[in-house]
Amino acid sequence: MNFKVMPKAALPEWIERLRADYRVIGPQRKQGEFVFADVHSATEVHFDYPTTILPPKKVLLPQREELFAFAGNGRALEPSLDDRPTVLLGLHTCDMHAVALLDRVFGRGVADQHYLTRRHITTLVGIECLEPCSDGAFCRDMGTLTLPDEFDLHMIDLGDEYGLNIGSEKGAALLRGFDRMRETNADDVRRVGRVMSQKWPRFPYRLGADVTELAGLLAVSQRSVLWDELGERCLGCGACTLVCPTCYCFDMIDEVDFSLSVGSRHRVWDSCQLDRFAVVAGGHDFRAGRAARLRHRFSRKYKHLADTHELVGCVGCGRCAAACLVHITPVDTLNRLNKQRAPQAKRQSEVVAP
């Protein structure tokens, strides 16, 4: 472990130094909530925020981005790649796990050049969560309350100082030449150990099933009547997917000028919870009802992404629970599915019991 210690009083100076070389984005207060936004002054950044409305996904996969411009009836194409060196400050570990999932999805198969260009030029700076950020968060259940395997730089609040865990060359580059840090000593190691061990009892488990059981739970719950009940309640608004750090569905829009020979193609966020998301040529809608769309969303998060990318498509951040006006939450839904499954599991065990 490559660890250094920085006094909290040095943080503004460090952020201002970063701003000289990078586009810096960090958590900031906005109308009583917190958002990731461009930092114009170090005083705007709040490392002790609970959660943000939108996740850092909005930086790596913007809500709307131009993919390329074309001219001459499409004979001249110019890709629009965003390669501004960027530092994303203050990510909670759940959001870092979400970025790891996006990296895998956009990096595999036909790699997405727009996402990867932005991602390669972006350095992530995490902040250790010492308190649960909301009642809807269940990061401990999902295994995202600790750092992912790969990270750049991670900060731990030690009171009047920050412990800095350096995980990559990109992370080390952010500290190079900054002399208001010191090497760690035995007392720092003890302090970090104490802070880390004290935080765990504050984070309750909220799911009745283990994360490794969720794919199986969704597989046996496809015909559950719960989907119909939730479908009756759901507004089909798509808010749950828009605030989700792991949802990445998008649509394409072409904008063409009056000459019909010059224009651009844009990518915009889409949502599987919206009506007509699954309409195909000929007009057939594969998921016409809200119940079917909800079931799809849960199946995709807890089963399909685990099957295809070996990572669960939910990091337990709780944003969807906060955004849903009719209180449809992952914790409640998964726990109710798990309770419904319980009698069936009991019957099976009775059959095989000697």
Is 322 one of the binding residues for ligand SF4 (CB under 6 A)? no
From 77, 235, 256, 342, residue interacting with ligand SF4 (rule: CB under 6 A): 235
From 15, 100, 244, 337, residue interacting with ligand SF4 (rule: CB under 6 A): 244
- 3-class state of residue 52 by DSSP: coil
Which residues partner with 76 through β-bridges? 71
| DSSP letter assigned to residue 99 | H
Q: Pick between residue 10 and residue 237 the one whose CB is nearest to ligand SF4.
A: 237
What is the nearest approach in angstroms of ligand SF4 to the Cβ of residue 37?
Answer: 20
From 71, 116, 237, 249, residue interacting with ligand SF4 (rule: CB under 6 A): 237
| DSSP letter assigned to residue 326 | T
Is 54 one of the binding residues for ligand SF4 (CB under 6 A)? no
What is the nearest approach in angstroms of ligand SF4 to the Cβ of residue 48?
Answer: 20
Distances (CA, A) of 256 to 24, 71, 252: 33, 10, 13
Count residues near ligand SF4 (CB under 6 A): 26
Is 163 one of the binding residues for ligand SF4 (CB under 6 A)? no
Is 56 one of the binding residues for ligand SF4 (CB under 6 A)? no
End-to-end CA distance of the chain: 51
Q: Pick between residue 56 and residue 245 the one whose CB is nearest to ligand SF4.
A: 245
Q: Where are the alpha helices (DSSP H) in the chain?
A: 11-21, 57-60, 93-107, 113-120, 139-142, 169-175, 186-199, 214-220, 226-233, 239-242, 290-299, 305-309, 319-323, 330-352
From 316, 334, 337, 341, residue interacting with ligand SF4 (rule: CB under 6 A): 316
| Cβ–Cβ under 8 Å, residues 52 and 114 | no
Q: Per CB under 6 A, which region of 34-42, 107-115, 199-207, 326-334 contacts ligand SF4?
A: 326-334
- Range 24-53, binding ligand SF4 (CB under 6 A): none
String marking each residue 294-313 x if it binds ligand SF4 according to CB under 6 A: -------x------------
| DSSP letter assigned to residue 8 | G
* Amino acid letter, 32: G
Max intra-chain CA distance, the chain = 79
| Cβ–Cβ under 8 Å, residues 70 and 78 | yes
Is 330 one of the binding residues for ligand SF4 (CB under 6 A)? yes
Q: Which long-range contacts (CB under 8 A, 24 or more apart) does 170-176 make?
A: 170/123, 171/123, 171/125, 172/2, 173/123, 174/18, 174/87, 174/123, 174/125, 175/4, 175/14
Is 323 one of the binding residues for ligand SF4 (CB under 6 A)? yes
From 145, 234, 311, 337, residue interacting with ligand SF4 (rule: CB under 6 A): 234
Residue 30 CA to residue 233 CA, distance in Å, equals 30
String marking each residue 264-293 x if it binds ligand SF4 according to CB under 6 A: ---------x--------------------
Is 6 one of the binding residues for ligand SF4 (CB under 6 A)? no
Binding site for ligand SF4 (CB under 6 A): 234-240, 243-246, 273, 301, 314-320, 323-326, 328, 330
